[in-house]
A and B are shown apart, each in its own frame.
Chain A
């Protein structure tokens, strides 16, 4: 397909500008200078005048359309659909998992696991109870001092 020549695109741009002006004219939003310019053109151009009449007639016809209120059950239906699709969890305060991104939760969980692993690795008892090296060991006599059953 051949590209439009400059004069063609100029003509299209001019047509669009005129159409936009006509829209503004029927809406009553043209500046005074532009309005006078368009009205002068309308006086000269019967086809343009006819277009204006057509536009006004279309607008008047559309104004005759009634506003149709939404069906009564629309709100209830929307709520039911939301509950059904979300398995009843949609409304109410969002869960922790909804508010905090999964990646953050994963990183925190990994760091916590790593810390726990280091703690267990460094413990000679293999439990979370740390053995203090400087703690006094009970003497053999002390063991004898404990009453035996």
Chain B
């Protein structure tokens, strides 16, 4: 762990409000992006991202400083996402349309945005549709495959970091990643 991380952890353990703000500012976008891709729903993703920081702050005394702070943060995020997926599955919550609606709305507003260069409408819609198709495909991957695709191909984490986050051996991560990519490709072939 770096000296800067060590110092940040020390301040967090002393309940330093400024340290907490620094932690959130540094990691919020990546944590949110991870929860969004794992859950496929903006409201759920925001809720879980908030819980990640609350849990990290609450349990900072149990952090053993063997891994990087960001690795630990990701581990907490992945575990909370898995719990939420299970919870949503139990509730038979199939409402994953919110992201799609907001993507389409974002694409439409991008087309209509005054001032900037006017994008070709067919291209802008294509982008939103690609996003929609991919997100739906990711959301239907099984949980273990989803984690690996999100961490490696979207969040761009190294295999070593993924092993530390998931507690899986190197060979298993690579083999499952291969299967996850194939499964994803199968789901999107007819669209992309």
Check B181 against A55 for contact (C-beta < 8 Å): yes
A8-40 to B contact mask, C-beta < 8 Å, 1/0:
000000001101101110010100000000000
B31 within 8 A of partner (CB): yes
Asked if A58 contacts B171 (CB within 8 A), the reply is no
Minimum CB–CB distance from A66 to chain B (whole Å) comes to 7
Q: Which residue of B lies closest to A89 (CB)?
A: B15
Contact B50 A74 (CB under 8 A): yes
Which chain B residues border A90 with CB–CB below 8 Å? 15, 57
Cα A23 to Cα B179 in complex, Å, equals 10
- Tell me which of A19, A69, A85 contacts B178 (CB under 8 A): A19
Task: Determine whether the beta carbon of B28 is less than 8 Å from that of A61.
Answer: no
Query: What residues on A are CB-neighbors of B174 within 8 Å?
Result: 19-20, 23-24
Q: A22-B178, A78-B50, A81-B50 are in contact. Are A54 and B17 (CB under 8 A)?
A: no
- Complex CA gap A93/B130 in Å reads 49
Determine if B62 is an interface residue (Cβ-Cβ < 8 Å).
no
On whether the beta carbons of A61 and B130 are closer than 8 Å, the reply is yes
Partner of B50, one of A20, A27, A77: A77
Residue A138, interface by CB 8 Å: no
CB distance from A50 to the nearest CB of B (A): 10
| A interface footprint on B150-187 (CB within 8 Å = 1, 0 otherwise) | 00011000010000000000111011011101101110
Q: Which residues of B contact A66 (CB under 8 A)?
A: 131
Contact A70 B15, beta carbon cutoff 8 Å: no
How far apart are A84's CB and chain B's nearest CB, in angstroms?
Answer: 11
Do A65 and B14 touch (CB < 8 A)?
no
Task: A132 to B86: give the CA distance in the assembly, Å.
Answer: 76
Does the CB pair A67–B171 fall under 8 Å? no
| A65-B154, A70-B49 as given contacts; A91 in contact with B178, CB under 8 Å | no
**CB nearest to A70 among chain B residues:** B32
CA distance A79 to B170 in the complex (A): 37
Cross-chain contact A91 with B20 (CB below 8 angstroms)? yes
- Whether, in the assembled complex, B36 has its beta carbon less than 8 Å from a beta carbon of chain A, the answer is yes
**A residues apposed to B, CB below 8 Å:** 16-17, 19-20, 22-24, 27, 29, 51, 54-55, 57-59, 61-71, 74-75, 77-79, 81-82, 85, 90-94
8 closest A-B pairs by CB: A70-B32, A20-B174, A23-B174, A58-B185, A19-B178, A19-B175, A62-B153, A58-B181
Provide 20 A-B residue pairs closer than 8 Å at the C-beta atoms, listed in order of the A residue.
A16-B175, A20-B175, A23-B174, A51-B182, A54-B182, A55-B178, A58-B181, A62-B153, A65-B131, A65-B134, A65-B135, A66-B131, A69-B33, A70-B33, A74-B24, A74-B28, A75-B24, A75-B28, A82-B54, A90-B15
13 additional A-B pairs beyond A19-B174, A23-B174, A70-B28, beta carbons within 8 Å, are A17-B175, A58-B184, A58-B188, A64-B134, A68-B33, A70-B46, A74-B50, A75-B21, A79-B20, A82-B57, A90-B15, A93-B14, A94-B15
